[in-house]
Structure 1
């Protein structure tokens, strides 16, 4: 969740009902009361005049490399760290948090929808890549 001067908060939509079907995680998920937490966030955001941006549950936040944008094919739950083909080493949760933040900021900046990029899109480019390629020519990459 973003705090401070921002007027929006970010959360990831989770299929809690489906997650509770996993008998190893059901008690921990139920004890955390995720559904109730989201309901409270929605209420508090509306109360304070803030926007709550919900990232779609099918957005591949865990499998998407936050450094280069490459998408890993499969990632079972027991994989906590992974190495992208660009050489970046990612912690599963930290990488997902970075991708959720970037997706939420794209919604704020460009008004884009937070869903996985489909090959049938009109431009074939994500909202983060909307500027003309020549607009950034000569700017050093940090």
Structure 2
């Protein structure tokens, strides 16, 4: 029933909490021939920031699949191995201002039929630290 109410082209973020932490997944990218984005094992306090980050990444991927914006040469079945996010991406996807940062790079690693946002190759710390650092850089209110 919820599927029927979803407007054409809409991408939503669904979440659930289990013993390993919070899991988030997009719904709607597959309608464009793109893999859904997912992240698992998040501390619950990072959930809202990561839901917003998935929304920004989904916006970029959908724009690329449409042939305008992020990846104009990509066919709908092709996705980039990494995405560089700039402040304008937050404004376009979320209609909100961004903090004092210039750009961040997020790898998109295939996991079956989904994409998992991952740290760039030059990051040498633990995954949890990268996730927390990225969330608080883009969305400072995620600190608490």
TM norm structure 2: 0.25
TM norm structure 1: 0.25
